[in-house]
């Protein structure tokens, strides 16, 4: 009976020690394969492919040879069955394009905030009229960058296969012509053993 008195707390301590989690920093560019869902490695692969393609396409090279075109990025349409943060994809792509020095961007997600600030500066009576930024002085976008992310999911028993396709286009807003388009395909497969490993 005495042994049981000491064995129970020891067993509990061992169970709790085995349940502890470990958190560590990892390389953000390291390939992540936790499951077949769209993940950080997929986002990086898509962004790299789209930016490299856009910057090296002859039509875009001609557009950016002597000018920095003004672009706005429309949200990527998520046609998959997953919840995917498509804004994160467009953020990465637009940031890389901006850092290339070839493009300038208009952030359409902040139009309402800008409008409120301009209204405050011009109508609240609290800002020196000579220093207030006037309405109607902003520059309009010349091009729109947009795209779709779609997937095909197939499952057969313990094997799950997911095919992703990211398509992007750059449209001239004045003419409606598509100046650039490309796509990136990804395929991931997950197999579970009989024991679920």
Round to whole Å and give the CA distance between 29 and 40.
Answer: 8
What's the whole-model pTM score? 0.76
Whether residue 163 contacts residue 151, with contact meaning beta carbons closer than 8 Å, is answered with yes
The per-residue b/e assignment along 185-197, b for 16 or more CB within 10 angstroms, e otherwise, is ebebeeeeeeeee
Which of 55 and 15 is assigned the larger pLDDT? Answer: 55
Q: Across residues 175-188, what is the average pLDDT?
A: 95
Q: Which fold has domain 35-129+139-191?
A: Rossmann fold (3.40.50)
| C-alpha to C-alpha distances, 182 to 40, 56, 73, nearest whole angstrom | 20, 12, 15
Phi, then psi, of 174 in degrees rounded to 5? -75, -45
pLDDT in the model for residue 58: 96
Q: Which two tokens stand for residue 45?
A: 């692969």
pLDDT in the model for residue 67: 94
Domain extents in the chain: 35-129+139-191
Q: Which two tokens stand for residue 111?
A: 């139009």
pLDDT band at residue 170 using 50, 70 and 90 as cut-offs: very high
Whether residue 43 contacts residue 89, with contact meaning beta carbons closer than 8 Å, is answered with yes
- Most confidently modeled range among 42-46, 169-173, 188-192: 169-173
Q: Across residues 74-93, what is the average pLDDT?
A: 91
Which of 152 and 17 is assigned the larger pLDDT? Answer: 152
Which of 62 and 15 is assigned the larger pLDDT? Answer: 62
pLDDT in the model for residue 14: 59
Whether residue 106 contacts residue 97, with contact meaning beta carbons closer than 8 Å, is answered with no
User: Could you say which DSSP state residue 139 is in?
Assistant: P
pLDDT in the model for residue 4: 58
pLDDT by residue (tens digit) across 96-118? 999 999 999 998 888 888 889 98
Round to whole Å and give the CA distance between 37 and 162.
Answer: 8
Q: What does the mean pLDDT of the chain come to? A: 85
Whether residue 55 contacts residue 128, with contact meaning beta carbons closer than 8 Å, is answered with no
């Amino acid at each position: 009976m005495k042994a049981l008195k000491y064995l129970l707390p020891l067993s509990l301590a061992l169970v709790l020690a085995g349940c502890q989690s470990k958190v560590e920093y990892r390389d953000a560019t390291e390939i992540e394969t936790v499951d077949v869902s769209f993940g950080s490695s997929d986002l990086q692969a898509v962004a790299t492919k789209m930016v490299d393609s856009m910057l090296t396409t002859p039509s875009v090279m001609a557009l950016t040879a002597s000018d920095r075109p003004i672009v706005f990025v429309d949200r990527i349409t998520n046609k998959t069955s997953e919840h995917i943060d498509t804004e994160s994809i467009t953020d990465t792509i637009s940031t890389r394009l901006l850092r290339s020095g070839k493009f300038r961007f208009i952030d359409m997600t902040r139009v309402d905030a800008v409008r409120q600030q301009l209204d405050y500066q011009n109508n609240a009576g609290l800002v020196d009229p000579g220093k207030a930024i006037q309405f109607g002085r902003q520059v309009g976008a010349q091009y729109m960058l947009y795209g779709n992310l779609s997937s095909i999911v197939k499952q057969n028993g313990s094997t799950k296969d997911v095919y992703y396709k990211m398509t992007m286009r750059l449209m001239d807003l004045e003419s409606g012509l598509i100046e650039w388009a490309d796509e990136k395909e990804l395929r991931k497969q997950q197999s579970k053993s009989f024991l679920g490993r």
